Amino acid sequence: MAFEAVLRQEMGWFDEVRNTSAEVGSRLTANAAGVRSLVGDTLALIVQNSTTKVAGIVIAFVANWQLALIFNY
């Protein structure tokens, strides 16, 4: 979406110092890398935590289901 927004700018927009092709390319690269790392790391952490919790509950129920019911609530 950011790249599409850059492509729709008028020619005069690229004449400004902060809007040169190198600056715009650098910003797009940094934004894409930031989003990718944020989504990837966050999603991996959520999956890991959910799996650990489910495994812990299963182990607790296998060991002693009465005690597991008490501690899970």
The structural domains of the chain, with segments of one domain joined by +, span: 2-72
Structure tokens at 33: 């890398």
Helix (H), strand (E) at residue 72: helix 65-72
CA distance 42 to 46: 6
What is the pLDDT, as a whole number, of residue 8? 85
Total residues belonging to the chain: 73
Answering whether pTM is above 0.95, one says no
pLDDT value at 42 more than 70: yes
Q: Which of 1-5, 28-32, 52-56, 63-67 has the highest mean pLDDT?
A: 52-56
Structure tokens at 55: 């495994």
What is the pLDDT, as a whole number, of residue 73? 65
Q: Between helices 65-72 and 21-63, what is the axis angle to 10°?
A: 140
pLDDT band at 72, cuts 50/70/90? low
